[in-house]
Amino acid sequence: MGQQIIRQPDGKLAVFSSVVDAFVFVDATPEEIIEWRAETAAEDARRATRAELARVLDDGNPRPYYQFTLTWEEAAEMDRKNSEPERPVSGEEKTA
């Protein structure tokens, strides 16, 4: 399950983690739990994006996405086929 929001006897809220079998947040309002979870999700997204960027920017790693890694040229060609005809791809000259 991961986490469960539980109403405390005093009406406040707590979050219990089944990973550590302990409360990870107590005496909270609904708004505090929303903000706490949003910040946790944002931190997780930042961490995952930093790891992805490290793989992509590593010149010694030619396939950071394993078999699904696209080159700029492959992605640009797919974009040209699937995008609005008047929208230029960043880094390319718009032709008239």
Task: Tell me what pLDDT residue 19 has.
Answer: 94
Helix/strand/coil (H/E/C) assignment for every residue in 17-56 = ECCCCEEEEEEECHHHHHHHHHHHHHHHHHHHHHHHHHHH
What is the token pair recorded at 1?
A: 């399950």
Q: Which three-class secondary structure state does DSSP give residue 80? A: helix
| Helix (H) / strand (E) containing 15 | strand 13-17
pTM assigned to the model: 0.68
The β-bridge partners of 17 are: 3, 22
Residues 6 or more apart in contact with residue 27 via CB below 8 angstroms: 8, 12, 14
The per-residue pLDDT for range 36-85, each reduced to its tens digit, is: 999 999 999 999 999 999 999 999 998 898 888 998 999 999 999 998 77
Q: What are the pLDDT digits (tens) for 20-33?
A: 999 999 999 999 99
Residue 93's pLDDT is what? Answer: 58
**pLDDT given for residue 95 in this prediction:** 52
